[in-house]
Amino acid sequence: MVERRPLLGLLVHLLLILGIVVVAFPVYLAFIASTHTAQEVAQTPMTLLPGSHFWETYKAALLGNGGGAGSNAPVGRMLWVSLVTALIIAFGKISISLLSAFAIVYFRFPFKGFFFWSIFITLMLPVEVRIGPTYQVVADLGMLNSFSGLTIPLIASATATFLFRQFFLTVPEEMLEAARMDGAGPMRFFWDILLPLSKTTIAALFVIQFIYGWNQYLWPLLATTSEDMYPVVIGIKRMIAGGEGGNEWNIVMATVILAMLPPTLVVVLMQRWFVKGLVDTEK
């Protein structure tokens, strides 16, 4: 039985509202700055009401028509690079992890446990630890400033392999026996039974891996030197390289708002599947 306490409920709501204000105010400030000219943004104090230069600022950002001292690369191209990179990383991680977990759970081969724990141990080796050798390999293979160089070093996931393995272990043995009796081979069992059962877990992992790929900063900072291959996160960093007074902050803030839109859309559109996938994974 849940005890109803009006004062406690009021306190909880006040804390939630305070949390929302703390999180949303910087986003609101960025949006307001993106609707003014660079001179209006530089005034002290800056107005907290929307300006009349919304379309001009966003058009300049998307087409790269700004005049800041830092990079003026088109944000439209940066968004495209980020989108392709995030999609390749998300789909690549999920595909490799599904097949790896399927092999570990349903096939018998020598050193099976050794291979599983070898994958599991890589959880303790994030990109930052192996970034030097990884950069050398990618540079020697001529993959700098390319989508393959941005994505392949990040495309394997021990976490996703472990989650799929745990889920496959909960699938009843009777299903495998029934599939065998019906004449289904291993890949038919994988495609027709395991994949449909795993769709909520796949959806949850897709959201997590898409945001992971979209927010990558350190690896693209090393792997890209050409403006054509800047993801939007790196693009923002290059745009503010001109010093405090040389930047067009309205265009920088417009880029920040544009960079937030795709991950927000993915989370909003897949929220129901994301929550269900996490709950199913917990089971």
Residue 31's pLDDT is what? 93
Sign of CA dihedral 91, 138, 223, 146: negative
Tokens of 140: 């020697």
Domain presence at residue 209:
yes
Query: Which two three-digit tokens encode residue 27?
Result: 């986003």
Examine the domain organization and report whether 59 and 79 are in the same domain: no
Domain at 135, CATH number? 1.10.3720.10
Burial string for 209-224 (b: 16+ CB within 10 Å, else e) reads: bbbbbbebeebbeebb
Same domain? For 43 and 108 the reply is no
**Final residue of a domain: which of 15, 40, 63?**
63
Same structural domain, 125 and 39: no
Total number of domains in the chain: 2
What pLDDT, on a 0 to 100 scale, did the predictor assign at position 283? 52
Q: What is the pLDDT of residue 62?
A: 87
Last residue of a domain, one of 63, 90, 106: 63
Residue 91 Cα to chain centre, angstroms: 12
Burial of 36 (0-12, 13-18, 19+ CB in 10 A): buried
Angle at CA 57, nearest 5°, toward 51 and 61? Answer: 155
- Answer yes or no: do 27 and 116 share one domain: no
pLDDT given at position 171 = 87
Same domain (yes/no): 105, 203: yes
Q: What is the largest CA-CA distance in the chain?
A: 76
Domain membership of residue 269 (yes or no) is yes
* CA terminus-to-terminus distance, the chain: 24
pLDDT tens digit sequence for 149-159: 999 988 888 88
Q: Report the pLDDT value the prediction gives residue 239, as an integer from 0 to 100.
A: 84
Task: Name residue 227's amino acid.
Answer: E
**What is the predicted pLDDT for the residue at 182?**
86
Q: Which residues of 1-17 are buried (b: 16+ CB within 10 A; e: fewer)?
A: eeeeeeeeeeeeeeeee
For residue 70, is it within any domain? no
172 within domain boundaries? yes
CA angle at residue 180 from 177 to 186, to 5 degrees? Answer: 110
* pLDDT value at residue 19: 94
Q: For residue 208, what are the CA distances in angstroms to 61, 124, 220?
A: 28, 19, 19
Indicate if 117 and 242 belong to the same structural domain.
Answer: yes
Please check whether residues 232 and 202 belong to one and the same domain. Answer: yes
Tokens of 152: 């392949």
Res 14: pLDDT:
93
Alpha carbons 252 and 155: distance in angstroms, whole number: 30
Q: Tell me, yes or no, whether 1 lies in a domain.
A: no
Same domain assignment for residues 16 and 85: no
Tell me which residue range forms the domain holding 266. 75-280
What is the per-residue pLDDT across 56-100, written as a single tens digit (0 to 9) for each? Answer: 889 888 887 777 666 777 889 999 999 999 999 999 999 999 999
Low-confidence ranges of the chain (pLDDT < 50): none
Last residue of a domain, one of 63, 86, 106: 63
